Amino acid sequence: MKRSSLLLIFLASLSLIIGAGSFFVYRWSQHDKSYTVIRIAQCGPSLYKIPHYIAREKSLYREQNIKIRELTFDSDREALDALENGKADIALVSPASLIIKSASNLKEEPLAAAFATLDRGATYHLVSTKNNPLGDFSSLKNKTIITAPPESEETVFIEQALREKGLKPYEDMTLITSIPEDVRIGALKSGTGNYLLVEDKDLPEALNRGLFRVESLKSGFPAYVCVALKDYIKQNPVALQGFTNAVYMAQIWTTYHTPGETTAALDKTSEVKGPSLPGLVESYYRNENLAASPQLEKKDMETLIKMLDRSREIPMPLNASQLISGDFAGTALITVKYVPEDKEERTGLRRLKFW
């Protein structure tokens, strides 16, 4: 046998031995690792939680020595109650829900606070049975808009958007907030109202059922924040830093990958997978809903507090500083240096990594 052939056989055998050895060393190290279990409370799936799904599917939580246990509730309010009842450690909820919950007890300082954000803000659409772009908001005078319950983030947002255009909600136009979500499209098609406000995730269904998008609106605050009790934050700073690091790594992951690659990663996630997923993820990227970091801006919380106060959803304004805790996001921005493995330039022995 030629020397070159023997050399190739030797190198191939060496590669297999090193690869197998590195695999067993990795498995041994994982077996010996100590993980912190974090119980996450949330209400239903949402594309605005993409960083959480990516962190879970790509084992980014595990890289930070965290195991998650997910609990699903019927509402954000119940998810926040789970924190106070000791049934959960972190809640993924809308900032509006946190504000309303905190404002319900004015005798004491808020018990919970947000320490990270998952997204850059939701996108909403006004749809109609007629294909006539809105053009000027003044054309909404004397019209009827179907929207979510009064305390919902989308209704608070559309009320503020109307005011910014010089209109008075409930005076210049009618807002119907009592129709259940699953029959709103049917109600509009049957002649109840002129417009329907839908979230981005519900737009494909509205269009498929014969409605037309006449206006798109972007909120100026996150759709989801990560919330924990202040006592838990004080007692578990290492675990929360690891959780925030994983969320930030997932946000970085989305910037390195295309909508198609993100869809492929999410297709394993039972909460959001389905035939409409590719279009929704494409819209998520196009509308710039991706957050560059988990940093929660105080001004965003202040804006939402003012909106809720003006809509009379809270008895009085809260101090935004009391609803934001820690600097976990700031620390993550400084310390996390992450490039997704499939986007790294791999040379030499690094190619022998099998896990």
Report yes or no: 256 and 96 within 8 Å, Cβ to Cβ.
no
- In the structure encoding, which two tokens stand for residue 265, read together? 């990663």
123-218 has the same fold as 36-121+222-343: yes
pLDDT at residue 348, as a whole number? 45
- Whole-number Å distance between alpha carbons of 249 and 332: 9
- CATH number for region 36-121+222-343: 3.40.190.10
Answer yes or no: is pLDDT of 12 > 70. Answer: no
**What does DSSP say about strands 123-128 and 212-218: parallel, antiparallel, or unpaired?**
antiparallel
Average pLDDT, the chain: 88
Q: Which of 24-33, 152-161, 239-248, 269-278 has the lowest mean pLDDT?
A: 24-33
Handedness of CA 147, 148, 152, 153 (dihedral sign): negative
**What does DSSP say about strands 144-146 and 90-93: parallel, antiparallel, or unpaired?**
unpaired
Query: Cα-Cα-Cα-Cα dihedral of 235, 237, 239, 242, to 10°?
Result: 170
Contacts of 330 (CB under 8 A, 6+ apart): 295
Answer yes or no: is pLDDT of 347 > 80. Answer: no
Report yes or no: 307 and 157 within 8 Å, Cβ to Cβ.
yes
Q: What is the pTM of this model?
A: 0.82
| 17 — pLDDT class (breaks 50, 70, 90) | low
Q: Which of 52-61, 145-154, 181-190 has the lowest mean pLDDT?
A: 145-154
Residue that wins the pLDDT comparison between 348 and 178: 178
Residue that wins the pLDDT comparison between 332 and 353: 332
Structural fold of domain 123-218: D-Maltodextrin-Binding Protein; domain 2 (3.40.190)
Answer yes or no: is pLDDT of 42 > 90. Answer: yes
The predicted-structure confidence for 211-237, as pLDDT tens digits, reads as follows 999 999 988 889 999 999 999 999 999
What is the average pLDDT across 318-325?
93
- 204, β-bridge pairs: none
Answer yes or no: is pLDDT of 185 > 60. Answer: yes
32 three-class SS? coil
Residue that wins the pLDDT comparison between 352 and 62: 62
Q: Where are the domains of the chain?
A: 36-121+222-343, 123-218
- Whole-number Å distance between alpha carbons of 39 and 87: 8
- Whole-number Å distance between alpha carbons of 176 and 184: 10
- Whole-number Å distance between alpha carbons of 134 and 140: 8
Residue burial 178-212, b: 16+ Cβ < 10 Å; e: rest: ebeeeebbeebeeeebbbbbbbbbbbbebeeeebe
pLDDT at residue 26, as a whole number? 45
What is the average pLDDT across 308-316?
88
Kindly state the percentage of the chain with pLDDT values over 70: 87
pLDDT at residue 146, as a whole number? 97
What is the average pLDDT across 183-207?
94
78 three-class SS? helix
Q: Which of 57-66, 109-118, 145-154 has the lowest mean pLDDT?
A: 145-154
| 352 — pLDDT class (breaks 50, 70, 90) | very low
DSSP class of 319: -
- Whole-number Å distance between alpha carbons of 247 and 253: 10
| 14 — pLDDT class (breaks 50, 70, 90) | low
pLDDT at residue 139, as a whole number? 93
